[in-house]
Amino acid sequence: RKEVEQDPGPFNVPEGATVAFNCTYSNSASQSFFWYRQDCRKEPKLLMSVYSSGNEDGRFTAQLNRASQYISLLIRDSKLSDSATYLCVASGGSYIPTFGRGTSLIVHP
Amino acid sequence: GAGVSQSPSNKVTEKGKDVELRCDPISGHTALYWYRQRLGQGLEFLIYFQGNSAPDKSGLPSDRFSAERTGESVSTLTIQRTQQEDSAVYLCASSLVGGGAADTQYFGPGTRLTVL
């Protein structure tokens, strides 16, 4: 079983829609969580960290549920430029931050 | 400031040849990671450096792969006797602390390796 699992999608949504992704992690020792964004043929870049209390950055909201061992990313008012792959990361259970395989989002006009 | 840089950006080689990929991390970053990403796939962890030591080499796919880091700075990933299945983008990332700490990884632009 993969340590971090994500629905690969693609999620195909119209501009302006709200879309949510979940990511589950198996290592209960994980302490820190992140969402990265990866554009086609580019390197991953940090989108936001995920705090226990949840956090919001503009149209993006991240939540952590330790009891159920999942994190979520909510994108409101989707833009065409949000089209990308979103990678979930769990860290702290070992030396190595563990990446999920990513969820593909396509926002269409 | 300068981010993580990698060279070359693209490398085309013939099967059986050796290749060397270079990563220059952000200055002062203790931790350095190598990943492989095949087309349409997720990140595959290869090796992690804490300073110049590699406490975790578990991801190296075979003994044809090796890596080193010197001066707690530059790292090189060497692939000997390349095979076609080695074709992928090789990504390097660095972070300030590593060791399981909650610090952000910063990625380089990657080296796209094509083995003919």
pLDDT at B1: 57
Give B95→chain A minimum CA distance, Å. 11
Give A47-56 pLDDT, tens digit per residue. Answer: 999 988 889 9
Report the distance separating Cα A74 and Cα B108, nearest Å.
27
Q: What is the pLDDT along chain B (116 residues), one digit of tens a residue?
A: 589 999 999 999 999 999 999 999 999 999 999 999 998 888 999 999 999 998 878 889 999 999 999 988 999 999 999 999 999 999 999 998 876 666 789 999 999 999 99
Nearest CA to B72 out of B113, B13, B105, B28 is that of B28
pLDDT at A95: 64
| The pLDDT of residue A69 is above 90 | yes
Find the mean pLDDT for residues A65-75.
94
Confidence of residue A98 (pLDDT cuts 50, 70, 90): confident
Token pair for B91: 């990504």
- Flag whether residue A107 sits within 8 Å of chain B, measured between CB atoms: no
pLDDT at B66: 96
Question: Would the CA dihedral through B23, B91, A50, A89 be positive or negative?
Answer: negative
Find the mean pLDDT for residues A76-85.
98
Yes or no: say if A39 and A47 are a contact pair by the CB < 8 Å rule: no
Give A9-18 pLDDT, tens digit per residue. Answer: 999 999 999 9
Residue type for position A74:
L
Note whether B110 contacts A43, CB cutoff 8 Å: yes
- Flag whether residue A35 sits within 8 Å of chain B, measured between CB atoms: no
Residue A33: closest CA among chain B residues belongs to which residue? B102
pLDDT at A51: 80
pLDDT at B34: 96
Note whether B91 contacts A42, CB cutoff 8 Å: no
Residue type for position A9:
G
